[in-house]
A and B are shown apart, each in its own frame.
Chain A
Amino acid sequence: MYTASDLRKGLKIVIDNEPYIIIDFQFSKPGKGQALYKCKLKNMITGVIIDKTYRSIDTFQPADLEERKMQFLYKQDDQYCFMDMETYEQVFLTEDQVGDAKNFLIDNLEVEVLFFEGKPIGIELPNFVDIKVVKSEPWVKGDSVSSNTKPVVLETGYVIRVPTFIEEGEKIRVDTRTGEYVTRIKE
């Protein structure tokens, strides 16, 4: 159990049976009055951000969260399947739970699957992922005003801007935090 004085940025607590992470925290204490703990919290399942103000008598349940390294196997309909490489246990996540990570989720990629009270709720990608370009129009100089980059389609279906020298069938490295091109991968 946490008390209000434990509250700080990054702490994960349970509110209405869902895990939240404190993304901003402010301690205030007017005059001789009681302390107020103002928190901005992000729901770790839905991503919804809420503001809450707590007092020193409030207590909090720590969120029972666990991260496990798992491999992405396949997608079927709305379900993404991941497997624990040691135990071979398989879990399924919905497209909503996978969120924007789906843009860079290639087959056999190792990701961190986040579990809340034993149930999978989301994934975290490695910071960099190498992905194949599956579609790129041949580049003609002077085609466009922004002549340094062009859009290409990745094997995940995601469209990204890359330098004009990248060709169909090549692999590129993408920063999954910004969703931007980093470099060309030579194989």
Chain B
Amino acid sequence: MLQGLKNKKEIIRLRAEILHKIREFFRKRGFIEVETPFLLPYVIPESYIDAIKTEDGYLHTSPELCMKLLLASGYEKIFQICKCFRKGEKGKLHLPEFTMLEWYHVGIDYNGLMQECESLITFLCRELSGKEMLRYKAKEIDLSPPWQKLTVHEAFRRYASVSLDEAMDKGIFEEVIVSEIEPKLGIEKPVFLKDYPVSMAALSKIKDNYAERFELYICGLELANGYTELTDMKEMRERLKKENEKRKELKKEPYPMPDAFFLKVKQLPDCSGIALGIDRLIMLFCNEEDINNVVAITSEDLTYC
């Protein structure tokens, strides 16, 4: 039984090294590492993210709410590396319990954040291999800045069989992204897919007719999701209510609204925030295609011999 784990040892060693380097990167830039509760009385309602309910509350699906509480109370540069829990997400790219790196930076917008993200990953690659090239799925990816930026609209025009508007009308956005667009993204250089339709703003700031939200792709792998953060908490509350409505339509359990949070937080400072999947980042650096191979112990290791 330990055979599989033994072969993983090299990956796990590299994983530890990457975590160490991530902390070094943020410490040098004056960020504070924070730890916030995993067990919450409420979660941010999202249509397609399900939380694990316990006797005493919910396991967080991301540390977003708690970190925003810190931002509202004066913290300006914070990061966190923690486990997040999402019910039913299991596959070659998903673990129901995965490790997230989330950071917030007051005073910059999503463009500044994209640059910071670029610096982090290039730094990690240089520290680990001494160069700015990455080999994944038999492809050489050039990490030297600047990385490409592509609007969602343009990505549909360039790679998809339908336009963005058509895909939204027909309700097939995800299908087109997964089968036609994602495989083309970030093959030679990493790509920031940005400027999402307003209806997919999540908790990002809306500018004119698009949302200041981006996702990072490297070799077809979705690694991170970032925003210029929505700072108006009244609007945030409205958006969460809508997500709960959508959950009811989908016959999913609506979540308790985080009203105590809104009592304390009326406004966020202008800032940007991003969540990056650590397990997927390790996959990339270890040239592994199955997320289960980059964690020391999977749930299967505990159930089957």
- Chain A min CB distance to B283 (Å): 15
Check if B182 sits within 8 Å of A30, measured CB to CB: yes
Q: How far does the Cβ of A1 sit from chain B's closest Cβ, in whole Å?
A: 13
**CB of A90 within 8 A of chain B?**
no
User: Do A33 and B173 contact each other (CB < 8 Å), given the known contacts A27-B94, A57-B250?
Assistant: yes
Check A35 for interface membership: any CB of B closer than 8 A.
yes
CA distance A53 to B47 in the complex (A): 19
Closest-by-CB residue of B relative to A31 is B215
Known contacts A27-B94, A30-B222, A36 near B48 by CB under 8 Å: no
Nearest-neighbor residue (CB-CB) of B93 within chain A: A28
Known: A32-B49, A33-B173. A27 touches B89 (CB 8 A): yes
**What residues of chain B lie closer than 8 Å to A33, measured between beta carbons?**
48, 173-174, 177, 200
Query: Interface extent on A, as a size class?
Result: 10 to 19
| Interface hits, A6-37 → B, CB 8 Å | 26-36
Q: Bound state CA distance, A56 and B15, in angstroms?
A: 32
Contact of A5 with B by CB under 8 A? yes
Which one of B47, B91, B92, B93 contacts A34 once the chains associate, using CB atoms below 8 Å? B47
Does B122 count as interface, using CB distance less than 8 angstroms? Answer: no
**Given the contacts A30-B174, A30-B222, A35 and B92 also touching, CB distance less than 8 Å:** no
A35 touches B225 (CB 8 A): no
Most buried by B among A5, A29, A33, A57: A29
Q: Is the CB of A32 within 8 A of B175?
A: no
Q: Determine the chain B residues whose CB is within 8 A of the CB of A32 once the complex forms.
A: 46, 48-49, 200, 202, 225
Taking a contact as CB atoms under 8 Å apart, the answer to whether A36 and B91 are in contact is: no
User: Are the CB atoms of B90 and A27 closer together than 8 Å?
Assistant: yes
Smallest CB–CB gap between B304 and chain A, Å? 14
Q: A34 vs B250: C-alpha distance in the bound complex, in angstroms?
A: 11
Chain A interface residues toward B at CB < 8 A: 5, 26-36, 53, 56-57
